[in-house]
Structure 1
Amino acid sequence: MAELVYDSTGRLLFTEEMKKEYTLLMPQMLPVHFGMMARLLEREGFKVETLNTTGRQIVETGQKYVHNDTCYPALLVIGQLIDAVQSGKYDVHKVGLLITQTGGGCRASNYIHLLRKALKKAGLEFVPVVSVNLSGLEKNPGFKLTIPFLRKAVFAMMYGDLIVQTSNQVRPYEVTPGQTDETIHQCMDRLLHGMDQGKGLSYPQMCENFKWIVQAFRDIPVQGPPKVRVGVVGEIYIKYSPLGNNNLEHFLLSEGAEPVVPGLTDFIIFKINNREVDVDLYGGKWIKKKVCQIFENYVKKCQRAMIAAMAEGGFRAPGTFDDLRRLIHGYLGEGNKMGEGWLLTAEMLELIHSGTPNIVCTQPFGCLPNHIVGKGMIRKLKDDYPYSNIVAIDYDPSATQINQENRIKLMLANARALAKEESAQTAPQAAEDRTPVGV
């Protein structure tokens, strides 16, 4: 069994020996993206398992080992990890926990410390916690993010966004239930197989992959009239995680709606851009800003290619990151960047401008930035866009799923009433347009 090694601060390290013996558990957030990421890590020699567990016991475990004032996403992530370790499914002496660390002002940067404290409280302090970060916050000899891996991860993010964006526009209308999900798995298998052979890791190859991914979903037979589109925004974990939002996308589908969920790419560009804004606002090294600009411009280039592929394939394409920046002018400054910052408000604006005025804003307990740029901006948006139909849904340990779903049902009822009213108003004009000239 691998020897436990600690650094000078007393932090338990994840060693090279552990890499050979241990299974790394990773909390779920984005099923497609994280699914690809887990398989990429496996190809790097790690044993990785993404946790898809659900149930009230996860919340209760989080409440047991995490302070009540901690934000709901932290409670869920830590609760899910500790629940898995205590489940009996794994050898507790051969398991490690994988968690991201952003390094920003959001409390997500401190999840890792809360997790270690919770493990100690549970008598599991011998379980190593591995930080996934690009800020040099923590390093482990047995877990190193190499350039080749990071390159694959960036491309996996882009592919994941395209798969999710196109599949969401097909799934509500598929003739054969389950065909969209089957296509998702086929795309993931093909992409990962290509990456193993060094394919799909250059800009031209990525553009070619974009084309066949779009075509794969375009080939799925669909039927039925357009459904009410509902945008989903909010704190990043609750917005994406089925555990965090009580399977919100599945619920919207069951209610006859089409979920519209902004991709992860904008958030990644947002985080890179924040480093540049820091230099502009507070000063700093010009070289840091220059490096960030180069990286940002490359990701933007990839994003534009993805958007072009969607548009050419007949799918409804989102706007670019620069479009979001233009939309936010007059609402929030770019210095408002804690948590999701101005990006959350910009996503609501983009949804409204692109014909999706019905929006669910997911609000987790304890996320102060989210309440400011999310719920705090709804009144202003409704003043400027009276036809917008936005509902803020609170997610916390005491919130019941039935109450959340009932509030969303009211929003959907309002959306259908507004659509019917709009249809009635446009019908006379349409009839007038069809009247022959001279009559």
Structure 2
Amino acid sequence: MPTTEEIVQKDFEVEIQARIDAERARLRAEAGLARMREFKKPIERTFTGPERDYVTILFGGLTWKHEEMIKAVFHGSGYLCENIPTPVVDDFQAGKEFGNNGQCNPTYFTVGNLVRHLQKLEQQGQTRQQIIDNYVFFTAGSCGPCRFGMYEAEYRFALQNAGFDGFRVLLFQQTDGIKAASGEPGLKFSVDFGMGMLNALNLGDVINELVYQVRPFEVNKGETDRVIRESVKTLTDTLRDRKRWHIMDAAPAWAKPHLEKNKKLTGISCTLGKIGHNLYGKEYIDALHTCRDSINAIEVDRFRVKPVIKITGEFWAQTTEGDGNFNMFAFLEKEGAQVLVEPIATWIAYMMFVAKEGAKARADAEAPYRDPKWYEVKKRVANDLKVLKKTSGLSAGSVMWNYFYHRTIKHMGDTAHHLIPQKELSRLAHPFYHQLARGGEGYMEVGKNVYYTVNHLCHMVLALKPFGCMPSTQSDGVQSRVVNKFKDMIFLPIETSGEGEVNAHSRVQMALAEAKSKARAEFDGVLQKTGRSLDELREYVDAHPHLKRALYKVPHHEGVAGTAAQFVLHVSDLMQKDKAYRPRTATPTPILQVA
């Protein structure tokens, strides 16, 4: 039984709490907040399995190469799918009209792009209810110190304002991998679908880099674009139409009765077989080699001196190929530059690395046993095993991701750049930017700027980011210290929006003039070092046509960034080793000594 003192104390506390609640209610009423309710995410109508036959999945926001590959995988998995066209300035204006104020321009471009696409469907004769019932939008989601975490809510808000309230948005969480946040049975992630998406992203990345690697040096203008489109069609046809492998079709007759009885064995065998077929199947490999041979047949002139411009920045701004980044890639090529684009694979490798390092950093706080003594072996082992359990899967995933990406590069001619180890990028950036500082590209903007500069892999780094992007603003603040340390670095950050294209292009032209001068000086220095004339080098290349092939692999020489300078050194080395060429070289005139 409670004592009299305890009862009095309890009554006193109840009275004090009642007074606090009453005063809080009075203040809320005076402020007009009495009717406020806690926000709850609206319950959305699900996307179910039976709807697959008539509901079309919409997606967009990447390059056309990536989107064609992804669409082919969707179609091959039995889904109706369409990719939304590349966003333009009118989409930006629509995003501002129907969306919230203060969003970054990728939000305005992508949100407005979806709204205007639905409006076009309505103009073509479909009712709004038909559009809501027959289409869903598939996009990425996130969280953290970036407006990217608000994309889902922004899509819903803009769609509601545009008159498409109830339109479904399927969210793909970047923190969940291939686990859809919606969890809808209408969108199932099978082995074929997952492996198909892996191939689609890798192929999109490699093809995208090959375009910018070959096109600046093509002899016949327009040939690269034509061949790439034909190659993309070959690959998408393969991804879409290839036969789906199943263990019961491939197994010998004597094994089928055993497989029918053992469902678990059938499931494991089928999964492993599907993975092998998607990655190593003859049909898939033959398609890669066909495209490789087509691209390799393009004739190029690598003696053209062009500054190499490495693109970094915010994910969407550095990826899109339209008004969202002021059509920057096309502008750079028009101005005589060679563009070095960033693959999506780098972003995925970054996410896995940060997740792994974050788990290590939280190990002490999340350990089952806090501060075990040196002799408490079991407790120390238990703590270590918990960390290992979290990081081993991510380590294995990183190794596999790198392996399959580089394997795609190898089958496509082995000239695209390999992924930079995230540990190296983190190490280079860490003196300026902590590896676990989240938001946007994290440490990668700083790390890539330092990496490409100290290794002489480009003449200039161009960082494209949205206007007012907080993570990119943080990175730019750090970059000023980076530039002061590396005096030969040419770094230019460009904030993109729906307006200001002329001003942005003007700033790029000024920095590009310095990069061109740097590339020309490098080329002239290398040419002088070889002791050969450009005409001699061209004559040798004309006599060896394989050197003009687009996918001919030119060895990298340390300290040289330009493609033309690299090629001069390589051709000079070949001439030096070529026995058939040596007799044709002039015999040095002996020096006569005067007595």
TM-score by length of 1: 0.87
Structure 1 position 181 matched with structure 2 position 209: no
Alpha-carbon offset, residue 62 of structure 1: 0.6
Pick which of 401-410 and 84-93 moved more. 84-93
2:317 equivalent to 1:238: yes
Task: Show the counterpart of 2:93.
Answer: 60
Q: What is aligned with 2:149? A: 109
Instruction: Tell me the CA shift for residue 204 of structure 1.
Output: 8.2
Amino acid paired to 2:171? S
Is the Cα contact below 8 Å between 1:26 and 1:98 reproduced in 2?
A: yes
Give 1:18 deviation, angstroms. Answer: 3.6
Query: Cα deviations across residues 97-123 of structure 1 (Å, max 9, x unaligned)?
Result: 221124555432321111111111222
**Partner residue in 2 for 1:250:** 330
- Aligned letter for 2:195? R
Q: Does the alignment pair 1:151 with 2:230?
A: no
The answer on 1:124 being equivalent to 2:164 is: yes
Q: Does 1:275 align with 2:329?
A: no
Check the 8 A contact 2:69/2:235 in 1, yes or no.
no
Cα–Cα, structure 1 residues 217 and 337, in superposed 2: closer, same or farther, change >3 Å? farther
Answer yes or no: is the 8 Å Cα contact 1:203–1:302 preserved in 2: no
Contact 1:300 1:321 in 2 (8 A): no
**Distance in 2, Cα, partners of 1:70 & 1:100:** 17
* Alpha carbons 1:303, 1:320 under 8 Å: kept: no
Amino acid at match of 1:65: F
Q: Deviation of residue 238 (structure 1)?
A: 0.7
Matched, 1:262 2:342: yes
Cα distance, 1:326–1:233 mapped onto 2, change above 3 Å: same
Structure 2 distance, partners of 1:136, 1:46, is 16
Residue 34 (structure 1) shift? 1.9
> What's the CA shift for 1:38?
1.4
Is the Cα contact below 8 Å between 1:73 and 1:238 reproduced in 2? yes
Mapping of 1:39-438 within 5 angstroms? 39-87=72-120, 88-89=123-124, 91=126, 92=128, 93-94=130-131, 95-103=135-143, 105-133=145-173, 134=177, 135-195=179-239, 196-197=242-243, 201-202=278-279, 213-223=291-301, 225-243=304-322, 244-283=324-363, 286=387, 287-306=389-408, 313=413, 315=415, 317-322=417-422, 323-352=424-453, 353-373=455-475, 375-397=476-498, 399-422=499-522
SS in 2 for 1:379: helix
Q: Show structure 2 runs of 5+ residues with no match.
A: 1-39, 245-275, 367-385, 533-585
Give the match's secondary structure for 1:32: helix
Task: Indicate the structure (1 or 2) with the bigger Cα radius of gyration.
Answer: 2
Q: How big is the shift at 1:167?
A: 2.1
Q: Distance in 2 between matches of 1:340 and 1:272?
A: 13
**Equivalent pairs, count:** 429
Identical positions, percent: 21
Distance 2:213 2:152 in 1: 36
Contact 1:175 1:222 in 2 (8 A): yes
Aligned-pair Cα RMSD in Å: 3.1
- Separation in 1, partners of 2:281, 2:73: 21
Whichever residue aligns with residue 410 of structure 1, its letter is M
CA distance in structure 1 between the partners assigned to 2:232 and 2:210 by the alignment: 14
Aligned to 2:300, the other structure's residue is in SS state: coil
Alignment partners' CA distance in 1, 2:89 and 2:431: 42
Secondary structure of 1:341's counterpart equals coil
Larger displacement relative to structure 2 (355-364 or 212-221):
212-221
In structure 2, how many angstroms separate the alpha carbons of the residues matched to 1:183 and 1:150? 28
Contact 2:59–2:138 at 8 Å: present in 1 too?
Answer: yes
Q: Which moved more, 1:411-420 or 1:30-39?
A: 411-420
The 1:288–1:144 alpha-carbon spacing in structure 2 relative to 1, beyond 3 Å, is farther
Distance 1:386 1:24, change over 3 A: same
Q: CA deviation at 1:208?
A: 7.3
**SS of corresponding position for 1:202:** helix
- C-alpha displacement of 1:225: 1.3
> Does the aligned pair in 1 maintain the 2:91–2:113 contact within 8 Å?
yes
Q: Normalized against structure 2, the TM-score is what?
A: 0.65
Aligned residue number for residue 25 of structure 1: 58
Distance 1:204 1:35, change over 3 A: closer
Q: Deviations over 1:257-302 (max 9, x none)?
A: 1111121111111112222122112246543322222211100222
Closer, same or farther in 2 for the Cα pair 1:279/1:53, shift >3 Å? closer
- Relative to structure 2, which stretch is displaced further, 218-227 or 73-82? 218-227
How much does 1:13 deviate?
Answer: 2.1
Deviation at 1:162, TM superposition (A): 1.5
* 1:392 Cα offset (Å): 1.0
8 Å Cα contact 1:166-1:214 kept in structure 2:
no
Residues 262 and 347 in structure 1, CA contact (< 8 A), matched pair in contact too: no
In structure 2, the CA distance between the partners of 1:343 and 1:204, relative to structure 1 (3 Å rule), is farther
Mean Cα deviation higher: 209-218 or 166-175: 209-218
Q: For residues 214 and 382 of structure 1, do their structure 2 counterparts lie closer, same or farther at Cα, with a shift above 3 Å needed?
A: farther
Measured in 2, the distance between the counterparts of 1:307 and 1:329 equals 29
> Matched residues in 2 for 1:204 and 1:129: separation?
34
Structure 2 residue identity aligned to 1:191: L
Distance 2:409 2:589 in 1: 41
Q: CA deviation at 1:344?
A: 2.1
